[in-house]
Structure 1
Amino acid sequence: MAQISLGVADAQRAGEFWMRALGWVRRPPRWDGDDWFVVEPPPGGRGTPIALDVSESPAPEFPRIHLDLTADGDLAAEVARLVGLGAQRVDWPFYPPPTPGEKPFVVLADTEGNRFCVEG
């Protein structure tokens, strides 16, 4: 997979959020004046880059696709960190009832309203 693209109203704001959230870096522009914002793992890191495409359409309330992040350690602490970076908690009506052995998760929205999950 080359990259994942997210629609955003403000690519700079979204890019800064995702760089801090993931500990990633901005891909260098392809040419002078290129305002395409792509975040990617730092050199030697792993992961699929995220392109932040300017879009005038709002983020869907119940998207058919979203990102899943894994909390390394304490789920509540990771959620608090992401909220501190600008994410918002989402009241998600489709939480399944907890089952033994299943990891808990929390639904958040990035600075642009794109939903993502954080798994404990």
Structure 2
Amino acid sequence: MATRLVQVNMKARDDAALGGFWAEALGWAVSSEGPGVTNLEPEGFDYPDPVAVVVDLVASTEPKTVKNRVHLDLATTSLDHQAELVARLRDLGATPVDIGQGAVPWTVLADPEGNEFCVLEPREMYRDTGPIAAVVVDCADPRRMTDFWSRATDWTVHEVSDRDAALRSSAGVGPYLEFLRTPEVKSGWNRVHLDVRPYPGDDMGAETARLRALGATVIDLGPVEVPWTVLADPEGNEFCLLTPR
């Protein structure tokens, strides 16, 4: 058994408006599975497919108070493309932010609701990822996180060190999942989190038990009935185990 990373879930005050921004940023199509939910995926995409990790925006009244521990890195093909993309995103409502990055070749921006993301300079490893180069998770221990997530999913480890790590779908397509050592301590629920999904025919209960054996913990939502299971990884980052598909 294994899961695979299928989507990034992002809370939003206005899911439709923020979804419009990200659809323009990524060049993706917009749909909605219901009120308060905006879904983004590439045109003609057959979900789920490792060629892309889609984005779901879910309405929430909770304000953003701290830097997100999960963010997107956007890929570019040249320095001109990077400059053009940054300018276009700023026209769409993004703003430059200083998170202590110093003098770096990438540009750090925040979307219209303050969610941080990076527009990377061109890098060879991201030449075939699509618009999202990587989904990046801040952490205290990249090696520990890599050990958990490489066993929790069928993603392959590409590099790992005490400073950072990178995984990618075993199919060798789509964005990377990266873990970056940061000094900040997790505070409150993550406003952006990962969603994983088992393969068709897998058993939800058995998969939940497997993830718990690897170090995940189940989060009790109280008297709320949902078809998915909410867990936390070994560093407390919430993620959702969706139904097999």
Question: Normalising by structure 1, what TM-score?
Answer: 0.78
Matches within 5 A, 1:8-19: 8-19=139-150
More divergent stretch after superposition (13-22 vs 67-76):
67-76
Q: How far is the alpha carbon of 1:27 from its aligned partner?
A: 1.3
The amino acid that maps onto 1:12 is: R
Q: Counterpart in 1 of 2:66? A: none
Q: Counterpart in 2 of 1:2? A: 133
More divergent stretch after superposition (82-91 vs 58-67):
58-67
CA distance in 1, matches of 2:142, 2:220: 25
What secondary structure does 1:3 align onto?
Answer: strand
Matches within 5 A, 1:62-73: 62-72=189-199, 73=202
Q: Is the 8 Å Cα contact of residues 162 and 181 (structure 2) preserved in structure 1?
A: no
CA distance in 2, matches of 1:111, 1:10: 10
1:57-107, Cα deviation, whole Å (9 max, x unpaired): 233432211111112321111111111111111123584x45xxxxx1111
Q: Counterpart in 1 of 2:168? A: 40
Larger strand share, 1 or 2? 2
CA distance in 1, matches of 2:173, 2:190: 25
What secondary structure does 2:133 align onto?
Answer: coil
Structure with max Cα Rg:
2
The amino acid that maps onto 2:176 is: P
Q: How far is the alpha carbon of 1:119 from its aligned partner?
A: 1.1
In structure 2, relative to structure 1, the CA distance for the partners of 1:94 and 1:26 (3 Å cut) is farther
Q: Counterpart in 2 of 1:108? A: 231
The amino acid that maps onto 1:68 is: D
Q: How far is the alpha carbon of 1:35 from its aligned partner?
A: 4.4
Equivalent of 1:57 in 172, 177, 184: 184
Q: How far is the alpha carbon of 1:46 from its aligned partner?
A: 4.3
Question: Normalising by structure 2, what TM-score?
Answer: 0.41
- Higher RCO (Cα < 8 Å, 6 or more apart): 1
Q: Counterpart in 2 of 1:22? A: 153
In structure 2, relative to structure 1, the CA distance for the partners of 1:23 and 1:80 (3 Å cut) is same
Number of residue-to-residue matches in the alignment: 110
1:26-69, Cα deviation, whole Å (9 max, x unpaired): 1146xxx7842111112x34443111011222334322111111
Q: Is the 8 Å Cα contact of residues 158 and 167 (structure 2) preserved in structure 1?
A: yes
Q: Counterpart in 1 of 2:39? A: none
CA distance in 1, matches of 2:212, 2:143: 18
Q: How far is the alpha carbon of 1:7 from its aligned partner?
A: 1.0
In structure 2, relative to structure 1, the CA distance for the partners of 1:15 and 1:77 (3 Å cut) is same
Whether 1:82 and 2:211 are equivalent positions in the alignment is yes
